[in-house]
Amino acid sequence: MGETPNHRDLEDGIQKDFSRSMSYGDYLRLDVLLSAQQPLSDPPQHDELLFIVQHQTSELWLKLMVHELRSARALLRTDDLSPALKRLARIKHIQHTLTDQWSVLATLTPSEYAEIRPFLATSSGFQSAQYREVEFLLGNKSADMVKVHAHDADAQDVLAELLHEPSLYDEFLAHLARQGYAVPSRLLTRDFSQPHVSDSELVDVFAGVYAAPGEHWGVYETCEELVDVEDAFQQWRFRHLQVVQRTIGHKVGTGGSSGVDFLRRALDLTFFPELYEVRTRIGQ
């Protein structure tokens, strides 16, 4: 039978019997994945599925981001800069996808969200252990945030470990020191459970890199990749704030935070302060 305008015959070689072979659904465990959406609203609310899918897919992207950040950190530890940069490039694309997803949730009006909010109880994205892993890997450390996960021993153990480990930025600074850059020794032996604090001597180091990019190309490129990552992270934070504000205004969040005001304060946080401060020095 030949093909007609709205019909395409299957080719002879296409696999059709999966009784003894692995299918697409088998490999991806779609039976598990697609049964994980269990709305709780009673009577059922049409928009709850959107809310669940939005956050479940975000958690899948966060899982991949954690995977890539851990790999980039390990590669910097062994001075394998080129593959580390490849990881950072992928991380940026993940971040852009996560930010774009907010536009889907933004179709949820305040009236529609009010119908499902009671069924969320005290659950909140603030409690996402994977999101906290990302922040810890990037350097925003907080012992108090580990306590939030006391109900989940596995998540708490992972975060407690990350709290005391060097962040991605810490490993980058250690890499620079091994390459002969004058990174202050206090930054290499500090208490890694504390957030990194801007250091004027480190700004001097980066000023030298930016004054002669061609002589420090690998380091220069890595600095810009890190700025891209932070910039994308801030865009995600800001888009999150916007969607929350248009959906619940200034109500208290389901997890007990002040909501919009709490999210706005996060915009003042920075992972790599010297990489922004050095820009004031360029061309002077």
40 inside domain: no
The enclosing domain of 113 has a CATH number of 1.20.58.480
Residue 2 has pLDDT above 70, yes or no: no
123 inside domain: yes
- Give the integer Cα–Cα distance in Å for 116 and 112: 7
Domain extent at residue 187: 46-280
pLDDT digits (tens, 9 = 90+) for 127-158: 899 999 999 999 999 999 999 999 999 999 99
254 is in an annotated binding site: yes
Cα dihedral value 108, 109, 113, 115, nearest 10: -120
Residue 18 has pLDDT above 60, yes or no: yes
Q: What is the pTM of this model?
A: 0.91
Max CA pair span of the chain: 76
Residue 252 has pLDDT above 80, yes or no: no
pLDDT digits (tens, 9 = 90+) for 23-35: 999 999 999 999 9
- DSSP-assigned states of every residue in 216-239: GHHHHHHHHHHHHHHHHHHHHHHH
Residue 1 has pLDDT above 60, yes or no: no
116 inside domain: yes
276 is in an annotated binding site: no
Mean pLDDT of 34-55: 95
Average pLDDT, the chain: 92
Residue 13 has pLDDT above 90, yes or no: no
- Give the integer Cα–Cα distance in Å for 99 and 60: 14
pLDDT digits (tens, 9 = 90+) for 203-228: 999 999 999 999 999 999 999 999 99
Q: What is the pLDDT of residue 54?
A: 95
117 is in an annotated binding site: yes
Q: What is the pLDDT of residue 8?
A: 81
164 is in an annotated binding site: no
- DSSP-assigned states of every residue in the chain: ----TT--PPPTTS----SSS--HHHHHTHHHHTT------SS--TTHHHHHHHHHHHHHHHHHHHHHHHHHHHHHHTT-HHHHHHHHHHHHHHHHHHHHHHHHHTTS-HHHHHHHGGGGTT--GGG-HHHHHHHHHHT---HHHHHTTTT-HHHHHHHHHHHHS--HHHHHHHHHHHTT----HHHHSS-TTSPP---HHHHHHHHHHHH-GGGGHHHHHHHHHHHHHHHHHHHHHHHHHHHHHHHHTTPPPTTSS-THHHHHHHTT--S-HHHHHHHHHTT-
Q: Please provide residue 53's backbone torsions phi and psi, each rounded to the nearest 5 degrees.
A: -60, -40
Count the alpha carbons within 13 Å of 216 in the hemisphere toward its beta carbon. Answer: 18
81 inside domain: yes
For the chain, percent of residues with pLDDT exceeding 70:
96
Mean pLDDT of 59-69: 98
Residue 96 has pLDDT above 80, yes or no: yes
Domain count within the chain: 1
58 inside domain: yes
Q: What is the pLDDT of residue 255?
A: 66
132 inside domain: yes
91 is in an annotated binding site: no
Nearest to 202 by CA among 187, 217, 222, 220: 187
pLDDT digits (tens, 9 = 90+) for 157-203: 999 999 999 999 999 999 999 999 999 999 999 999 999 999 999 99
The residue whose two tokens read 């590669």 is 75
189 inside domain: yes
Which residue would you say has higher pLDDT here, 186 or 284?
Answer: 186
193 inside domain: yes
113 is in an annotated binding site: yes
pLDDT digits (tens, 9 = 90+) for 66-78: 999 999 999 999 9
148 is in an annotated binding site: no
